[in-house]
Structure 1
Amino acid sequence: MISNQQSLNLSAFMDIYDIVVPKDNMLRQINDLVDFSFVQVELQHRYCLDNGRNAVPPIRMFKYLLLKSIFDVSDADVVERSKYDMSFKYFLDMAPEDEVINSSSLTKFRKLRLKDVNLLDILIQKTMKIALEKEIIKSSAIIVDATHTKARFNQLSPKEILMQKSKLLRKSVYKIDEKMKDKFPPKT
């Protein structure tokens, strides 16, 4: 269940953020300048509004994934770091003494709430666009999505490589001379 009401953090320790998270901190600037309510709007239809237990706010869950993306860490690492990194807690709109989520909640959030794989990319792109427009982030790098690249453990066997190369060789030869089809041995 997702609540329609915004929660107000009444912790006595909220002032500590003014001491330990400087005004020029990137996460503080993003949090202060970017209105993340668009996440709530985009994901609201994926939650029940009147049944079940209260869910972790979708904005906070999205911010965990955004931190994961910005700092290139695993689910477990982003949750662990949010236990002690006050800039993370500030960014997540948590009181300093608040407990963090279980890292498995991020997996469940992605699978249940972000079924459309492109939704997370759209939300992150929208956030980064806002951050770039407000000059919080000055990008000089090219970001490449490597989702569909081959990993080391997924390499082809030597036999499969030879079969691919043979196929490419045949195609190249056939482009030059179609009569060679009769002269080549049968395909394996």
Structure 2
Amino acid sequence: DQSRKLRKTIYSVNESMKEQFPKKNTKDDLEAELKYCKELIATIEQVPGLSAHPKIGESLRLLEETVADDIEQVRCSSDADARTGHKTADTSFFGYKTHLAMSVERLVTAAIVTTGEKSDGKLLQSLIEKSCAAGIPVNTVIGDTAYSEKTNLQYAEDNHICLISKLNPNITDGHRKKEDEFDFNKDAGMYVCKAGQMAIRKARQGKKGVGTNQKDTYYFDIERCKRCPLREGCYKEGAKSKTYSVSIKSTEHAIQRDFQESEFFKKAVKERYKIEAKNSELKNRHGYRVTSGVGLNGMALQGAMAIFTVNLKRILRLVDEPREAPDQ
């Protein structure tokens, strides 16, 4: 698309350039398109003064940036374990996730490295169990809405743990089928299938104000479903659309709803920012924003080293902090 816009801009200035440009790529292949774009850029740069034109120069820079981004993505995609995850409905990343548990002293007590498309909420129980195994007693857990799934609420109740996590109607009030095949991405507000594809839109159906008659329907890109390697049992041949629906039931989780309106809950949930600060420290000060190795094991090793470092720094800080003198 960028190369097409660039050619169109150049033709408006100098139509004779058509004869000098390389033959257009006709293959549905990224490598072939990248090769064509590189040749196009080289041809333009060889013409004196052409790239100096304001409109042409801007289009040329956009194409160069797009080519550079695609080359980086091709390089990253050689990592067979990496997957596409989503932070919002419009933004995505390619790689891995590290799920952290942290104590009130801001020491990381457990970590699990997964591929990028994995849901946060599914790992709460494992993080609690890892923290307990490390000698940390757990009686209260503060997390975002991803952790307020029904199974987590039941687990917390069974283990006498106070779960400070706001309810999200899409994942807690709904009755879902095939729960293991679709995960809710709380940042994007959309469901993601087991192949990592995110829904492209959603619609509320049923009578307004009547929770038991309503459902949220999530629509997926049918063209991607047709080519999906995991389509068997999920995509029906010849189907015009692929959807996933969640029935809304407003009567469930009444206890948690009442709890999150309490002053204790409202005060405790404000402490959640501390885990985001720890994430920022790992990414910005210890190179954890980009993987330095290859594969899930490589990412786990990098995570172990980075987390060990931030924990050691925190321990030294705690040791140096002045302590209150005991009462005489």
If the length of structure 2 is used for normalisation, what is the TM-score?
0.18
- Greater strand content: 2
- Greater helix content: 1
Query: Greater RCO between the two (CA within 8 Å, min separation 6)?
Result: 1
If the length of structure 1 is used for normalisation, what is the TM-score?
0.28
